[in-house]
Amino acid sequence: MTQPSSNSPFFARNSIEIKDNPLSPNGRFNRLSYLGWYGFLNIVTVVAYLALGVFVGAFSLSTFSINDRVMDLFSGAMGIGILVLWAIVAYFHIVFLVRRLHDANRSGWLCLLILIPLIQFLFMLYVLFVPGSKGLNDYGAPRPSAVWEKILAWLMIIVMILSLFSVASLISFMSSTGELQTPTEIVQKGTSYF
């Protein structure tokens, strides 16, 4: 089996076709694939929650024609729907974590570290920044990222950076005189300490 060239263009088609089901815990995800699928999972989750809310909310708009027992049924269905969606999202999040750990040639059982409150932050940094093992490892061959995974991963990175700047601006606004600082001012004042 030949390895893809490391100097191939960003949007080049992969020369190796690997039979891989991304929704299965077997296999590997590199960093971009992990972020791409995580972003896709978040988008699908938001759309599903909105659809569920609109579906149940449409019935609550016409409360004058629906019995209270029927409304209670829809409220209970909304709660059950939220629990089912949460369980599905949690399952796929664990699958993506296991695949990312497999790329670093680590056991998928390490994903249980996400349940420990202070460790989970460091663990997620590890998952995001550790490079995958080159070539074959105990969990198979490396899986090349699809173009849409790369694009969605970079969008996720940009959104994370922008959200960090917005949170920093909000904290600055709440802790000072009430003037919002631009990211340039934050960087200029922050770099004076170094």
pLDDT at 1: 46
Reported pTM: 0.70
pLDDT at 64: 56
Give residue-wise pLDDT tens across range 108-136: 899 899 999 899 999 999 999 999 888 88
**27, 45, 51, 74 from 55: Cα distances, Å:** 37, 15, 6, 9
pLDDT at 190: 64
On whether the CB atoms of residues 111 and 99 are closer than 8 A, the answer is no
Span 139-162, mean pLDDT?
90
**Domain chopping of the chain, boundaries:** 20-145, 146-194
On whether the CB atoms of residues 104 and 132 are closer than 8 A, the answer is yes
Give residue 182's pLDDT band: very low, low, confident or very high (50, 70, 90): low
On whether the CB atoms of residues 34 and 124 are closer than 8 A, the answer is no
Give residue 23's pLDDT band: very low, low, confident or very high (50, 70, 90): confident
On whether the CB atoms of residues 89 and 40 are closer than 8 A, the answer is no
Give residue 14's pLDDT band: very low, low, confident or very high (50, 70, 90): low
Q: Tokens at residue 109, please? A: 């059982």
**23, 57, 61, 71, 75 from 81: Cα distances, Å:** 21, 13, 19, 15, 10
How many residues can be counted in the chain? Answer: 194
pLDDT at 24: 80
pLDDT at 69: 67
Span 168-181, mean pLDDT?
70
Q: What is the 3-state secondary structure (H, E, C) of the chain?
A: CCCCCCCCCCCCCCCCCCCCCCCCCCCCCCHHHHHHHHHHHHHHHHHHHHHHHHHHHHHHHCCCCCCHHHHHHHHHHHHHHHHHHHHHHHHHHHHHHHHHHHHCCCCHHHHHHHHCHHHHHHHHHHHHHCCCCCCCECCECCCCCCHHHHHHHHHHHHHHHHHHHHHHHHHHHHHCCCCCCCHHHHHHHHHCCC
pLDDT at 17: 54
Give residue-wise pLDDT tens across range 79-99: 888 899 999 999 999 999 999
Give residue 162's pLDDT band: very low, low, confident or very high (50, 70, 90): very high
For the chain, the C-alpha Rg in angstroms (whole number) is 22
The burial class, CB within 10 Å (0-12 / 13-18 / 19+), for 100 is buried
Give residue-wise pLDDT tens across range 55-73: 776 666 555 556 666 666 6
